[in-house]
Structure 1
Amino acid sequence: MPQTSPILTLKDVQYRWSGRAAFDLRIRALNLQPAETVLVLGESGSGKSTLLSLICGTILAQSGQVICAGQDIAALSASQRDKFRADHIGLIFQQFNLLPFASVQDNIALPLQFAKQRRERVGDMTAEAKRLCQDLGLPDEVLTARAGTLSVGQQQRVAAARALIGTPPLIIADEPTSALDAASQSTFLDLLFAQSQAHETTVMMVSHDARLSNQFDRVLHMSDICETARGAL
């Protein structure tokens, strides 16, 4: 089989929060492959949020490399990092971060306002938003509903559609199933993974819930990823 390059590589990464006592996060090596689903487990304070910030380029490592989709994040300016993140990383937040008074369709399309490459891949935005809703188990009429009127489970699927639109190569999910029961968690992940496999999108999800482990290709623990993590966030 042909060799494929990792979609995400962290090598010899070190980050220390200035002014915070005994904080030191070091990651010797981390690689994620195209179309792989990876669960990163860690308790509160284990460094999960800092890891995600390093990957997304909202903070920069003091040493080492973070390479996403072939791009060394540190080589970009702040504005270039914002554009790169919008084009290459789909984000699913723990609180979903939907615009409550905007329609579902407008919420799903929101990343395309900032991501030229994703926008060019979509074509007909309305048709793509409708397709994603259907594939994620949402009825067509939900497209015109205000996001704030939806159930928690429906809002979660809208957040997933927003992350998936324009097929970014990497999806980062930050505790997106924490508000759901076990059956709803499983259903959501099945739907998310079906979409990721269809477009060879890598999914990296961070959580403290080890019960999700059997649904992922690979499970990593923060204690294994980080050589040291003291006072982590």
Structure 2
Amino acid sequence: MADGGILSMTDVTFRWPGRPGFALTVPAFAMAKGDAVMIVGDSGSGKSTLLSLICGTLRAASGSLHVAGTDLGRLSAAERDRFRADRIGVIFQQFNLLPYGSVRDNILLPLVFSPKRRGRATDVDAEVLRLCTAMGLEPEVIGMSAGRLSVGQQQRVAVARALIGQPELVVADEPTSALDQRAQTGFLDLLFEQMQVAGSSLLLVSHDTRLGRRFDRVERIEEIALTERKAA
């Protein structure tokens, strides 16, 4: 990967094992460190599969896929899990919070799996408070169970969880889909501010093209990835 790159994909291919109906090919895609890139596309266009390859939850069948200078193709499944925990923050579409866990427990979850990220947050309670405050959450919610929060609050907790420990890359899968336009604007203001504080790069996928003006670059999924679908 060229100097200054956080992500590089060349001739990457993927096909679901035992499911011949779908395949994805990425001839070339790259991101520089510090960039905020948005990928837009309709549901079922391969956006989530692409993110899963970048996060290492799926393994490419062929090609070159480097994240933060590491060739994911050379890592075992366990090594990819460790790499993801250390280097990538993930914001899921459905947030994937532990409903009975406290806000604090949810935000600190990545540090349980990554001593490297924990080492970057020496005073974890102070960092939880800082992130919650920065994301517009009252300190009183820190001890509350995540299941008691509103959708907007849960979303902000999900961002704080992704950002704690300053991962080099944050990947977000349709994080604004449950919000109206006004709430989307406020959420993105907070997200971009905290991405800058953490020094992280951002890759966000969405079907909503209105969000694109906030990003350094916008790509359509069909321009960077070729999909193949066959009837069963």
Q: Above 0.5 in TM-score?
A: yes
**2:183 maps to which residue?**
184
Code of the aligned partner of 2:149:
L
Partners of 1:77 and 1:19 lie apart in 2 by 21
Deviations 1:89-136 (A, max 9, x none): 101011111111111111100110001110111001100000001111
For 1:166 and 1:70, how far apart are their aligned partners in 2? 19
| Residues 82-231 of structure 1 mapped to structure 2, 5 A cutoff | 82-226=81-225, 228-231=226-229
Aligned-pair CA distance for 1:19? 3.2
2: distance between equivalents of 1:11 and 1:200? 25
Offset, 1:197: 1.2
SS at match of 2:5: coil
Write the deviation string for residues 7-26 of structure 1: whole angstroms up to 9, x where unpaired.
11111111122333453311
Q: Which amino acid aligns with 1:109?
A: L
1:22-101 map, 5 Å: 22-101=21-100
- Structure 1 residues 126-168: Cα deviation after superposition (integer angstroms, max 9, x where no partner): 0000000111111111111111111110110000000000000
Q: CA RMSD in A?
A: 1.4
Q: Distance in 2 between matches of 1:103 and 1:132?
A: 15
Contact kept? 1:45, 1:231, Cα under 8 Å = no
TM-score, reference length from structure 2: 0.95
Gaps of 5+ in 2: none
- TM-score, normalised relative to structure 1: 0.95
Amino acid at match of 1:139: E
Residue type at the aligned position of 1:79? A
- Matched residues, number: 229
Distance in structure 1 (CA, Å) of the matches to 2:186 and 2:3 = 30
CA distance in 2 between counterparts of 1:107 and 1:81 reads 22
Q: Report how far residue 223 of structure 1 moved.
A: 0.7
Query: Identity over the aligned pairs, expressed in percent?
Result: 55
Where structure 1 has 5 or more consecutive residues not aligned to the other structure, the ranges are none
Partner of 1:14 in structure 2?
Answer: 13
